């Protein structure tokens, strides 16, 4: 994924987070509004019921208008317009306000027209029937003759308690959002460093290729010179220079393939005889290693086994598996066993060695980019940690599957499950 694509994801993720957060805030505000209206309606209903019960008991009719007046968010006035019996009022309030919310606290006061003052002001808890003195005076109005006022000092706490689910969900959303944005930021930083590293290695390998080309040209000129060819030592040295420069060029080309192995190239598939290709590769591998040091065996069907693959990249895949089988092997006699199983629907290619093996906890990571198995703090074998990453990418691009089995200090087996070439005869 390119940096500009990552930037787009980062921006879209940020906008999505802001949108979700704004929607969450809106729903919290909406829920607060609904809960507030519901609370006020239930209080109005309960206070109206209290006034009606008191009026029925006293035998008079309530005022037709302005019976309940909301003075503020948590203060309600009841225009009773008749002498109020204090004990009866408190009893009715305790019973009816319990319907609004069990245990809710309220303060109340009754206006005395003779003393022109609010009297009997207490704070009651519905569930405990405990009264405490009011610390703050309730408002006094001159427009009504007989009335009582009820205040709910803990109204906001009550509403917040009922909205705790929305607040918890909001906090969770914020945490998830910031975690997502932080993860994108870290991913962006790692991607940028990865591309810088890739560009650096790419540039360095190209810088190496220029002098290597000159060395190869000079070596060819030397080998065409009669004086050089007649001198055994000079001819040998010239051949060594040419051979090693070609070898280094091959390594650089493979390194470039590894660096570019982010699925940015197109495969040039063709019909390949797998048996023939493996035979050629085995011969080349044995030529590079002393015959006493490496033992290779090849078990395959006695007929061509055709697959559709990119010859160049598939050859590199097998070379990587062979190189690992040789490098990560401390036995005096290194063994590589290649097996081709030709089934009705698929072909299974196995590469097994008798090397040092891979510890079980590392098996899930060996195909990761730059990952290398360590012993302590020292890599016993030098490398880039890109070989198996390249192998996995090429296998995936072909639509195949690769699996690994290993036992420490005994063996490692790579199995590639391939589709048959539908255009070829098996």
Domain boundaries, the chain: 3-162, 165-259, 269-419
Q: Where are the alpha helices (DSSP H) in 225-356?
A: 226-230, 232-259, 274-288, 311-327
- pTM of this structure: 0.49
Strands 306-310 and 269-273: antiparallel
CATH of 269-419 given 3.40.50.280, 3.30.565.10, 2.30.30.140, 3.40.50.11060: 3.30.565.10
HSE-CB for 90 with a 13 A CA cutoff: 17
pLDDT tens for residues 356-395?
Answer: 999 888 888 888 877 777 654 444 555 556 788 889 988 9
What is the pLDDT averaged over residues 212-232? 84
Round to whole Å and give the CA distance between 156 and 376: 61
Strands 130-133 and 148-151: unpaired
Q: Is residue 233's pLDDT more than 50?
A: yes
Measured at the CA of 289, the angle between CA 285 and CA 292, to 5 degrees, comes to: 120
Contacts by residues 258-264 (CB-CB < 8 Å, ≥ 24 positions apart):
258/384, 258/386, 258/387, 258/389, 258/390, 259/198, 259/201, 259/202, 259/205, 259/386, 260/202, 261/386, 261/389, 261/390, 261/393, 261/394, 262/393, 263/393, 263/396, 263/397
Residue at token pair 């606290």: 105
Secondary structure element (H or E) that encloses residue 53, with its range: helix 3-58
From 272, 294, 263, select the one nearest 347 (Cα to Cα): 272
Confidence band for 126, pLDDT divided at 50, 70 and 90: very low
* Other CB atoms within 10 Å distance of the CB of residue 208: 15
User: Which residues lie closer than 8 Å to 411 by C-beta, 6 or more apart?
Assistant: 352, 353, 354, 355, 357
Confidence band for 159, pLDDT divided at 50, 70 and 90: confident
Say which DSSP state 360 is in: G
Q: What is the pLDDT of residue 375?
A: 58
């Amino acid at each position: 994924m390119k940096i500009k694509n990552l930037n787009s994801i980062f921006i879209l993720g940020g906008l999505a987070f802001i949108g979700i957060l704004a929607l969450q805030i809106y729903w919290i505000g909406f829920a607060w509004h609904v809960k507030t209206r519901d609370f006020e309606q239930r209080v109005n209903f309960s206070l109206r019921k209290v006034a009606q019960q008191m009026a029925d008991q006293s035998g008079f009719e309530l005022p037709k208008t302005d019976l309940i007046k909301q003075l503020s968010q948590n203060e309600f006035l009841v225009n009773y317009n008749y002498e109020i019996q204090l004990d009866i009022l408190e009893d009715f309030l305790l019973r009816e306000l319990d319907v609004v919310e069990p245990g809710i606290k309220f303060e109340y006061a009754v206006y005395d027209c003779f003393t022109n003052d609010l009297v009997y002001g207490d704070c009651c808890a519905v569930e405990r029937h405990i009264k405490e003195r009011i610390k703050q005076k309730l408002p006094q109005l001159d427009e009504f003759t007989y009335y009582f006022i009820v205040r709910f000092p803990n109204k906001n706490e009550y509403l917040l308690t009922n909205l705790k689910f929305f607040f918890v969900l909001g906090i969770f959303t914020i945490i998830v959002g910031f975690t997502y944005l932080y993860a994108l930021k870290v991913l962006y930083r790692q991607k940028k460093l990865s591309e810088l590293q890739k560009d650096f290695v790419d540039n360095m390998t190209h810088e190496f290729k220029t002098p290597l080309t000159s060395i190869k040209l000079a070596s060819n000129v030397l080998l065409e010179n009669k004086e050089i060819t007649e001198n055994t030592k000079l001819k040998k040295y010239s051949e060594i220079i040419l051979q090693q420069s070609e070898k280094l060029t091959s390594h650089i080309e493979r390194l470039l393939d590894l660096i570019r192995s982010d699925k940015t190239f197109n495969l040039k598939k063709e019909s390949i005889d797998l048996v023939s290709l493996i035979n050629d590769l085995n011969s080349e591998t044995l030529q590079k290693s002393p015959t006493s040091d490496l033992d290779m065996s090849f078990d395959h069907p006695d007929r061509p086994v055709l697959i559709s693959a990119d010859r160049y990249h598939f050859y590199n895949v097998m070379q990587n598996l062979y190189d690992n089988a040789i490098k990560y092997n401390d036995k005096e006699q290194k063994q590589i066993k290649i097996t081709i199983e030709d089934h009705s629907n698929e072909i299974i290619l196995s590469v097994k060695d008798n090397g040092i093996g891979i510890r079980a906890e590392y098996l899930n990571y060996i195909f990761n980019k730059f990952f290398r198995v360590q012993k302590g703090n020292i890599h016993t074998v030098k490398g880039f940690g890109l070989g198996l990453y390249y192998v996995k990418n090429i296998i995936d691009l072909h639509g195949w599957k690769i699996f690994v089995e290993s036992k420490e200090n005994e063996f490692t087996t790579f199995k590639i499950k391939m589709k048959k070439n539908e255009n070829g005869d098996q």
